[in-house]
Amino acid sequence: MNDSGFTRIGVVGCGLMGSGIAETCARSGVEVLVAVSSERSAEAGRRRIEGSLNRAVVKGRMAQAERSSVLGRITFTTELEALADRQFVLEAIVEDERAKADLFARLDAIVDDPDAVFATNTSSLPVMRVAGATGRPQQVVGTHFFNPVTAMPLVELTGCVHTAPETFERTEAFVTKIMGKEVVRSPDRAGFVVNALLVPYLMSAMRMAEAGFATPEDIDRGMTLGCAHPMGPLRLADMIGLDTLARVADGLYNEFREPLYAAPPLLLRMVEGGLLGKKSGRGFYRYE
């Protein structure tokens, strides 16, 4: 037993974020059940986690025996009902309000523990919009992890107007003491702390490139060499995923109606054309 009281963890979704959350929990010694939509998704998620662990072994950060132990603590299921006995369920599906709300409504009916906590891994959606789909909004919290989850130390923690103090305390205890992350708390506003600052910066870099003011290479070089940023804004945008950024920008703009949050036409056209950044092989840069 740990300070949070969570020993049975569920993760819904095993894309980049879901796989990273599941792996980090398992690295911390926790048994994790990952629910996915299909066997194909399960295989892709398993390969993603295995690849991450293999890289850790090659770099000398993990022994082969530990790799096997971590994998042994992760189980996959295609049946959402298998999460019925979970005490803490972290959702990491697509950044879509309706999809998340539908999932939370289903989890509310499935999970038996009346004290279970539901966490939504969202980078832009107010927590109230998904918590309202459940009959227990006091047990819903937002946990915004950063990619790659295994390496990035921060988690933004937020809740809706109904989230109970105990929900915050149990979630923060698990995230910090078990997963080994640092936490910053944010009010329930689209974008929270980090994206409310980051997204306008990235959109400004895109507008600069769109206007022909400077090339993507010069924009990025200016920020890495002139401001000591570890990565330029356009290469960072490619790494995050341009489709993800477009959705986050849309959520921020709808919340605040500030022009600085609006996605520029260049970003929208790139997403429509399938140029999504590193994951598609091409964004502002080309990737092998």
Q: Which of 95, 156, 172, 186 is catalytic?
A: 156
Q: Is 156 a catalytic residue?
A: yes
Distances (CA, A) of 43 to 90, 140, 152, 279: 20, 29, 25, 18
229 is catalytic: no
Alpha-helical (H) ranges within the chain are 16-27, 39-58, 64-72, 97-110, 128-131, 165-173, 194-210, 216-227, 233-240, 242-256, 265-272
Secondary structure letter of residue 98 according to DSSP = H
Peptide bond before residue 148 is cis, with ω within 30 degrees of 0: yes
Tell me, yes or no, if 144 is annotated catalytic. Answer: yes
DSSP 177: I
* Active-site entry in 4, 19, 124, 195: 195
Exposed, middle or buried by CB within 10 Å (0-12, 13-18, 19+), for 216? buried
Q: Are 1 and 173 in contact (CB under 8 A)?
A: no
Among residues 123, 124, 172, 186, the one annotated as catalytic is 123
> Which one of the listed residues 19, 144, 172, 186 is annotated catalytic?
144
Q: From CA 12, how far away is CA 36, in angstroms rounded?
A: 6
2 in active site: no
- Which run of H or of E encompasses 141? strand 140-145
Task: List, by residue number, the catalytic residues.
Answer: 123, 144, 156, 195
